[in-house]
């Protein structure tokens, strides 16, 4: 395995899969299988999951709710996804701990950096819920920050596309995928890999990002081995 400690970022929206309900059981199942494969190879894995399938802070204004309130709602949405993932992983016999950026004693532990590292060392998968616990951030910024804090070697951003393209591959059939990019190039080309806060955190801390297709079977384990897939930004 190339990487010993990984931070995996999964989007909430992808959890919806082909369903109109919030969580598609098939997607959840597939995530668990991929995660289990990597875990079995002895990789330490922390996961940040988004909440876009349930609620995004940006939606608040359309409901006449202020942004900050909406962001907290978004953070709680990530906890629902995190709990679903935790439950599903446990059914697969994988040990997990859920740590949240907002105190919720009955369902998860508070985020304590040293404790998170200890869980990883003991072979548990740590899921970070409720983002960093502050409004005006995203789960991408959570992924970057937590990855730095737990000294992960890489942030793996699982998406529905197999990497970063010259232009939107869904709209432009002639779009070309980058296999690797420097942070500087990604910034100059305005490729929107993550929001600026998340991206800058990675760049300033020399933390590589790999954007890859989480829906492709075996992809996560390929990447953990260091095999070429997706786009590496370093």
Q: Which of residues 140 and 162 has its CB atom nearest to ligand UDP in the complex?
A: 140
Q: How many residues does the chain have?
A: 234
Cα dihedral across residues 100, 13, 9, 192: positive or negative = negative
Rg (CA), the chain: 17
- What is the three-class DSSP state of 113? helix
134 is a contact residue toward ligand UDP (CB under 6 A): yes
**Looking only at residues 180 through 219 of this chain, which bind ligand UDP when binding is defined by CB under 6 A?**
none
Nearer residue to ligand UDP within complex by CB, 104 or 180: 104
Residue 75 in the binding site for ligand UDP (CB under 6 A): yes
Kindly state the smallest distance separating residue 77's Cβ from ligand UDP, in Å. Answer: 6
Q: What is the DSSP string of 55-107?
A: --GGGGGGGT--HHHHHHHHHHHHHHHHHHHHHHHHHTT--EEEEESS--TTT
Binding of ligand UDP by 157 (CB under 6 A) = no
Given 3, 7, 12, 199, the residue binding ligand UDP (CB under 6 A):
12
The angle at the Cα of 204, spanning 201 to 209, to the nearest 5 degrees, equals 60
Pairing of β 5-10 and β 44-49: parallel
Q: Which of 7, 35, 85, 132 binds ligand UDP (CB under 6 A)?
A: 132
Is residue 142 a contact residue for ligand UDP (CB under 6 A)? yes
CB 23 within 8 A of CB 81: yes
| DSSP tag of 62 | G
Rule CB under 6 A: say whether 11 interacts with ligand UDP. Answer: yes
In the complex with ligand UDP, the residue whose CB is nearer, 180 or 215, is 215
159 touching ligand UDP, by CB under 6 A: no
In angstroms, the CA 116 to CA 130 distance is: 15
Answer for which of 38, 39, 47, 52 binds ligand UDP (CB under 6 A) is 52
13 forms part of the interface with ligand UDP (CB under 6 A)? yes
57 binds ligand UDP (CB under 6 A): yes
Q: Are 82 and 127 in contact (CB under 8 A)?
A: yes
Residue 158 is a binding residue for ligand UDP (CB under 6 A): no
DSSP state of 233: E
Q: Candidates 91-99, 119-127, 134-142, 216-224 — which segment interacts with ligand UDP by CB under 6 A? A: 134-142
d(CA 210, CA 141): 15
Residue 39 or 56: the one with the smaller Cβ distance to ligand UDP is 56
**CA-wise closest residue to 156 among 229, 88, 94:** 229
Catalog residues that contact ligand UDP under the rule CB under 6 A: 11-13, 50-52, 56-58, 70-71, 74-75, 77-78, 131-132, 134-135, 137-140, 142
């Amino acid at each position: 395995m190339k990487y010993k400690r990984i931070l995996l970022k999964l989007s909430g929206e992808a959890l919806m899969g082909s369903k109109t309900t919030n969580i598609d059981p098939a997607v959840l199942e597939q995530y668990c299988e991929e995660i289990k494969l990597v875990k079995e190879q002895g990789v330490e894995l922390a996961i940040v999951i988004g909440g876009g399938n349930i609620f995004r802070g940006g939606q608040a204004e359309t409901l006449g709710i202020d942004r900050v309130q909406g962001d907290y709602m978004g953070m709680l949405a990530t906890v629902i996804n995190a709990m679903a993932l935790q439950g599903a992983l446990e059914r697969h016999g994988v040990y997990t701990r859920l740590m949240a950026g907002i105190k919720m004693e009955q369902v998860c532990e508070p985020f304590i950096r040293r404790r998170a590292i200890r869980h990883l060392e003991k072979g548990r998968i740590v899921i970070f819920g409720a983002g960093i616990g502050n409004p005006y951030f995203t789960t991408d910024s959570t992924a970057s920050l937590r990855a730095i804090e737990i000294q992960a070697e890489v942030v793996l951003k699982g998406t529905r596309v197999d990497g970063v393209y010259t232009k939107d591959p869904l709209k432009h059939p002639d779009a070309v995928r980058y296999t690797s990019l420097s942070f500087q190039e990604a910034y100059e080309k305005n490729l929107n890999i993550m929001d600026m806060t998340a991206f800058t955190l990675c760049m300033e801390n020399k933390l590589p990002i790999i954007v890859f297709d989480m829906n492709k079977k075996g992809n996560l384990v390929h990447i953990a081995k260091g095999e070429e897939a997706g786009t590496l930004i370093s």
